[in-house]
């Protein structure tokens, strides 16, 4: 267990009763019945799934997520009855979800989000209510959840990025789209947001192939992964790995079991990463698990409770 995670456990024990059980959550999305409030919880390390009795306050898809390790996960922006600025906080101790009093500074759907463990969560980019690409970055400081808007956002207006984080060091925005529509330009760009300075840089080595609607997994301290997505002509099974701290890129020999886009991703740091749902020609319910550090893939016998795309993943872990 890392020092940061150990301190989080001790703080949780001191101030909030027993520590929250470690688990990953997949929230919201778009099913055959439309947008959903569903939150599926997978316990670590057993991978046993339960579906929370109380899900998101509103049926939501195309949102983004960040996490305050051992405290709460956040579902930010997305589409409800329209593009929303709402940020929902899911408490890891109670599994209850509620809207924050302060949401995003702008309504946004298909943005990207990164986490700096117990320090802050970030949301960037996406589409506004007129479905125009935008460029801003909001920061939510923990534990107050107070919001500020950074003066330096992404290098350009951008949406549908895959994201991953290295707690205490940096968060990354990988791929995405810089124009709208079915023929939208897909990107190989990987941008880095350094913690705690919030300074921005672009990696010299981006993705091997351009993609949007990809997802991410974070094995904090070791590597970040971007998985699946749309490469401009089709979905892909590709999983690319960026090793920390070198940021060198490699492609996993075994990718996803299906060429999904708009899936949800999360990780149990030091143990495994998970990619759930998404869409091929139909919505999917499967969950692929990548064991760390071997990156070997298996598919869980129990998938999501509802097949869906455009969902988010977050975990009560050090990411």
**161-193 pLDDT per residue, tens:** 999 999 999 999 999 999 876 667 899 999 999
Domain span including residue 27: 21-315
Answer whether residue 270 is part of any domain.
Answer: yes
Answer whether residue 3 is part of any domain.
Answer: no
In the predicted structure, residue 238 carries a pLDDT above the cut 50: yes
pLDDT single digits (tens) 195-217 = 999 999 999 999 999 999 999 99
> What is the structure's pLDDT at 4?
39
> Quick one: average pLDDT of 131-145?
96
Answer whether residue 10 is part of any domain.
Answer: no
In the predicted structure, residue 115 carries a pLDDT above the cut 50: yes
Pairwise CA distance, residues 201 & 214, whole Å: 21
Residues forming a β-bridge with 315: 24
For the chain, the average pLDDT equals 92
Answer whether residue 8 is part of any domain.
Answer: no
* CA–CA–CA angle 8, 241, 3 (5° rounding): 20
> What is the structure's pLDDT at 181?
67
Answer whether residue 283 is part of any domain.
Answer: yes
Q: Is the dihedral of CA 48, 57, 37, 54 positive or negative?
A: positive
User: Residue 125 CB: number of other CB atoms within 10 A?
Assistant: 29
Pairwise CA distance, residues 313 & 123, whole Å: 14
Answer whether residue 11 is part of any domain.
Answer: no
Instruction: Kindly provide the residue ranges of all beta strands, DSSP E only, lying in 167-268, ordered along the sequence.
Output: 170-174, 190-194, 200-202, 215-219, 223-227, 239-243, 249-251, 264-268
> What is the structure's pLDDT at 108?
98
Tokens standing for residue 74: 């956040």
pTM over 0.85: yes
CATH number at residue 258: 2.120.10.80
> What is the structure's pLDDT at 232?
87
As for how many domains the chain has, the answer is 1
Residues forming a β-bridge with 309: 30
> What is the structure's pLDDT at 69?
87
> What is the structure's pLDDT at 183?
60
In the predicted structure, residue 17 carries a pLDDT above the cut 70: no
Answer whether residue 112 is part of any domain.
Answer: yes
Answer whether residue 187 is part of any domain.
Answer: yes
Pairwise CA distance, residues 78 & 28, whole Å: 10
Query: What percent of the chain is predicted at pLDDT more than 90?
Result: 87
Query: pLDDT confidence of 263, banded at 50, 70, 90?
Result: very high
Query: What percent of the chain is predicted at pLDDT more than 70?
Result: 92
């Amino acid at each position: 267990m890392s020092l940061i995670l150990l301190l989080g456990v001790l703080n949780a024990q001191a101030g909030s009763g027993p520590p929250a059980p470690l688990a990953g959550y997949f929230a919201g999305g778009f099913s055959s019945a439309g947008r959903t409030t569903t939150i599926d919880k997978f316990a670590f390390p057993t991978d046993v799934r339960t579906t929370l009795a109380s899900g998101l306050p509103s049926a939501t898809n195309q949102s983004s997520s960040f996490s305050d390790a051992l405290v709460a996960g956040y579902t930010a922006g997305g589409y409800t009855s329209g593009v929303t600025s709402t940020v929902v906080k899911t408490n890891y101790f109670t599994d209850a979800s509620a809207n924050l009093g302060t949401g995003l500074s702008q309504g946004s759907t298909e943005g990207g989000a990164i986490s700096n463990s117990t320090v802050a969560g970030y949301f960037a980019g996406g589409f506004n209510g007129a479905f125009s690409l935008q460029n801003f970055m909001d920061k939510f400081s923990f534990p107050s959840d107070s919001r500020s808007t950074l003066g330096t956002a992404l290098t350009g207006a951008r949406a549908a990025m895959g994201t991953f984080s290295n707690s205490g060091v940096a968060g990354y925005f990988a791929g995405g789209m810089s124009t709208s529509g079915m023929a939208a330009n897909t990107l190989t760009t990987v941008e880095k947001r350094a913690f705690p300075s919030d300074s921005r840089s672009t990696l010299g080595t981006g993705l091997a192939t351009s993609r949007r609607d990809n997802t991410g997994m974070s094995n904090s301290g070791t590597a970040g992964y971007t998985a699946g997505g749309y490469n401009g002509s089709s979905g892909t099974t590709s999983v690319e790995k960026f090793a920390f701290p070198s940021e060198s890129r490699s492609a996993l020999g075994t990718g996803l079991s299906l060429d999904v886009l708009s899936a949800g991703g999360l990780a149990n740091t030091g143990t495994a990463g998970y990619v759930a749902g998404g869409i091929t020609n139909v919505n999917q319910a499967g969950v692929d698990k990548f064991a760390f550090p071997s990156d070997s893939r298996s598919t869980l016998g129990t998938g999501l409770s509802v097949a869906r795309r455009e969902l988010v993943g977050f975990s009560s872990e050090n990411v």
